[in-house]
Amino acid sequence: MQIAGKLVAAIVATSRLQALPKCFAHRNHCQTVLVPVVLAPHDVFISHRGPETRRNIAGLLHDHLLRRGHRPFIDYRNLKAGDKLSEKIDTAIRDCKVGVLVFSPRYCESSYCLQELALLMEYKKRVIPILYNVKPSQLRVGDISSGPCVSETELERFSRALEEAKNIVGLRFDSSRGYWSEFLQSASDAIIEQIGQSS
């Protein structure tokens, strides 16, 4: 009985609970029963600098992948009030099949973005870099203006991860010249191909 109780507790702790009415024939009332619903892990993790990309490339790519039947993770859509930020991000990165790095002009100024980048590289995930209105030469770890302060050791870790990511063939998009629909289609195709190869 103790083992069964621990199993139920573990399922409840790692699952979302869905309330379902349970009616009893011998009584004239219904009782709500919580039933654990185990959700599949996210297959794509989208790392992006929110102020620059949330309302355009990152958000649109998330929605495009969702419509094509995938489970992308993006912070502002998947984090809920009360979630432990680092725990949720770490789990989503650990469980994903593909990481998408939306490099924008100020991406490297965020310690949160650089932490996601480092974790994707350290977990040896398949990664697709997207250079959004930025050139690879403009991407370097320097003045971090958002997120918690980081040590010299962390800066070195972030720099190694960034150099590794810059050596991966990615996609480029210039929002002043490119066509959104074509780019979203080709980016989604590339991501879905990588998901298939990681399965």
- Known catalytic residues? 116
Q: How far apart are alpha carbons 162 and 166 in whole angstroms?
A: 6
d(CA 47, CA 118): 11
Q: In this structure, how many other beta carbons lie within 10 angstroms of the beta carbon of residue 182?
A: 10
The type of residue at 198 is S
> Measured between alpha carbons, how far is 76 from 146 in angstroms, rounded to an integer?
16
Residue pair 192/68 in contact (Cβ under 8 Å)? The answer is yes
Distance CA 75, CA 90 (A): 12
CB 45 within 8 A of CB 113: no
Tokens 């507790």 belong to residue: 9
Considering all CA atoms of the chain, what is the largest pairwise distance in Å, rounded to the nearest integer?
73
Side chain identity at residue 61, one-letter code:
L
